[in-house]
């Protein structure tokens, strides 16, 4: 084995079973690994994150309960690849700079979203109380998240863009109400839901891409929120970076 190949061979980290918030721990792990490699003096240009969500493989099309009709019509397949780069890197065009990232569990919510293994895949149980549980806890979570970023809460809520994982239209509506956001601040979330549906962990990265394609201004604040089994709330604060 050639020594130079051994020293530069790619390291692959597989991450599963996090559901719709999966992009956030992926970004956190990639950013941490990038910092570790830089501290080791290896100075990599970037780390790539690849999402492959084939939700249709997990569902049983022969189950015709009302709950499963909702689950089967809600989720879509999706894919995405993007890079986590060091702050000084200017080689990849416009980007989003990570300022803060946070996760939390909603108390007494472990039965609201459940995946059960079966021979044909995973059966999902999704309670109608999920949007209400998110609504009751989201403002406190966002207040703490923005405080971690060092930004002013009122400025972010008034002028920031919000990438809200569209678990469904009702979740976007309730988060908008709780945070008192304008339609313009959440339009990218609605756009991706309309065009692509709920692609699980791939959805928020597609919202980020939509924002970048829209011509994001330098320093624009992006608050991202996603929800998954637990019931888990995951969020991040980013800012627009012009090339």
Q: What is the CATH number of the domain that holds 164?
A: 3.40.47.10
Average pLDDT for residues 131-143, to the nearest whole number? Answer: 96
User: How high is the pLDDT of residue 163?
Assistant: 98
Whether residue 241 contacts residue 218, with contact meaning beta carbons closer than 8 Å, is answered with yes
Q: What is the pLDDT of residue 201?
A: 92
Residues 6+ apart with CB under 8 A from 50: 79, 80, 81
Question: Alpha-carbon distance 178 to 124, whole Å?
Answer: 27
pTM of the model: 0.88
Encode pLDDT of 171-223 as tens digits. 999 999 999 999 999 999 999 999 998 999 999 999 999 999 998 889 999 99
Identify which has the larger pLDDT, 184 or 8. Answer: 184
Query: pLDDT digit string (tens) for 81-92?
Result: 999 987 766 666
63-73 b/e (C-beta count within 10 Å ≥ 16 → b) = eeeeebeebbe
Phi and psi (nearest 5°) for 142?
-65, -40
In the structure, what pLDDT confidence band is assigned to residue 120 with cuts at 50, 70 and 90? confident
For the chain, how many helices (H) and strands (E)? Answer: 8, 8
Domain range holding 138?
Answer: 1-243
Q: What is the pLDDT of residues 19-66, one digit of tens each?
A: 899 999 999 999 988 888 888 777 777 889 999 998 888 777 777 888
pLDDT band at 8 (very low <50, low <70, confident <90, very high): low
Range from 16-20, 95-99, 202-206 carrying the lowest mean pLDDT: 16-20
Domain tally for the chain? 1
Between CA 76 and CA 56 the distance in angstroms is 7
pLDDT at residue 213 in the model: 93
Instruction: Give the mean pLDDT of 97-122.
Output: 88
Please say whether the beta carbons of 170 and 164 come within 8 A: no
Q: Which residue has the higher pLDDT, 109 or 1?
A: 109
């Amino acid at each position: 084995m050639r020594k130079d190949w051994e020293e530069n061979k790619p390291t692959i980290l597989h991450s599963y079973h996090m559901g719709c918030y999966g992009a956030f721990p992926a970004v956190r792990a990639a950013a941490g690994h990038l910092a570790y490699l830089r501290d080791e003096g290896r100075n990599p240009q970037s780390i790539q994150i690849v999402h492959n969500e084939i939700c249709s493989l997990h569902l049983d099309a022969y189950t015709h309960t009302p709950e499963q009709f909702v689950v089967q019509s809600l989720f879509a397949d999706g894919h995405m690849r993007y890079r986590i780069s060091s702050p000084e890197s200017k080689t990849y065009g416009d980007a989003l700079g990570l300022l803060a990232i946070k996760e939390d569990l909603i108390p007494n919510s472990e039965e609201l979203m459940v995946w059960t293994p079966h021979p044909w895949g995973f059966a999902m149980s999704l309670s109608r109380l999920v949007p209400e549980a998110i609504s009751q806890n989201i403002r406190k979570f966002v207040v703490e998240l923005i405080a971690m970023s060092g930004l002013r809460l009122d400025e972010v809520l008034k002028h920031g863009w919000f990438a809200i994982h569209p678990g469904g239209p009702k979740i976007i509506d309730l988060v908008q109400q709780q945070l008192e956001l304008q339609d313009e601040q959440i339009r990218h979330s609605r756009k991706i839901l309309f065009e692509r549906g709920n692609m699980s962990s791939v959805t928020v990265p597609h919202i980020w891409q939509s924002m970048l394609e829209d011509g994001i201004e330098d320093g624009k604040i992006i608050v991202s929120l996603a929800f998954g089994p637990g019931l888990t709330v995951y969020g991040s604060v980013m800012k627009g970076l012009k090339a």
